[in-house]
């Protein structure tokens, strides 16, 4: 593995993790509603969950999808249902702010470390990114193990700063929204984008 390989891998993982998708839409909403600091467990959960999933795929889980394509279809359905639930939570977080309801506010909280990590397993974009990266950057023996490890480490290292951009964006954008109505509109837009990402899964 030379410098060109490493740079190509880092560039691929950076582009894959910083481009819009379910994770980054949710992070923007979390940054807007809860601030960057409270979103950090969500960020770490993504990095851990994604890297752990890459380990499992590198050990052979990807072959299972090739043998039984219906499992991947089932994964899309489950992931889509969960994304719709998260879209509702994003919109509801905006309603909580508008209504100033203390009881509802207590229920509104960012995703935890383990919730974010578990979400990667039903996130179709995450599966596509992992399968594509391992297919493109895994080298034949005797470098197979080391190259697979490089992919896993690259995602773990790159995903946190790349995804942090979206959480910080949400935190800063919401400061520009001077009214509760504008913030509700912002949350509604993010919720709509989350729903739209569900449609893109099946295209």
List pLDDT tens digits, range 135-165.
888 888 788 788 889 999 999 999 999 999 9
Q: pTM for the complete prediction?
A: 0.79
Residue 8: inside a domain: no
Quick one: pLDDT at residue 104? Answer: 47
Residue 117: inside a domain: yes
Residue 57: inside a domain: yes
Residue 17: inside a domain: no
Tell the residue number behind the tokens 């990402």, with chain if given. Answer: 197
Closest CA to 127 of 80, 86, 189: 80
Please give the structure tokens belonging to residue 138.
């895994």
Range of the domain at 74: 25-201
Residue 169: inside a domain: yes
| Total domains in the fold of the chain | 1
Residue 6: inside a domain: no
Those residues of the chain that have pLDDT short of 50 are 98, 104
């Amino acid at each position: 593995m030379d410098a060109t390989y490493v740079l190509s891998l880092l560039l691929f993982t950076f582009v894959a993790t910083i481009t819009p998708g379910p994770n980054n839409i949710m992070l923007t909403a979390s940054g807007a509603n809860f601030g960057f600091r409270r979103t950090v467990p969500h960020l770490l959960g993504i990095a851990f969950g994604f890297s752990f999933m890459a380990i499992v795929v590198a050990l052979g889980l990807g072959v299972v999808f090739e043998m039984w394509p219906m499992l991947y279809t089932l994964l899309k359905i489950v992931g889509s249902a969960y994304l719709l639930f998260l879209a509702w939570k994003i919109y509801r977080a905006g309603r909580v702010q508008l209504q100033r309801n203390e009881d509802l506010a207590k229920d509104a909280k960012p995703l935890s470390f383990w919730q974010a990590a578990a979400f990667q397993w039903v996130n179709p974009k995450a599966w596509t990114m992992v399968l594509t990266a391992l297919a493109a950057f895994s080298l034949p023996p005797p470098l197979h193990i080391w190259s697979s490890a490089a992919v896993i480490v690259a995602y773990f290292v790159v995903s946190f700063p790349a995804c942090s951009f979206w959480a910080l964006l949400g935190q800063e954008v919401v400061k520009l929204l001077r009214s509760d109505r504008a913030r509700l509109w912002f949350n509604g837009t993010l919720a709509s984008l989350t729903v739209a990402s569900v449609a893109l899964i099946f295209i």
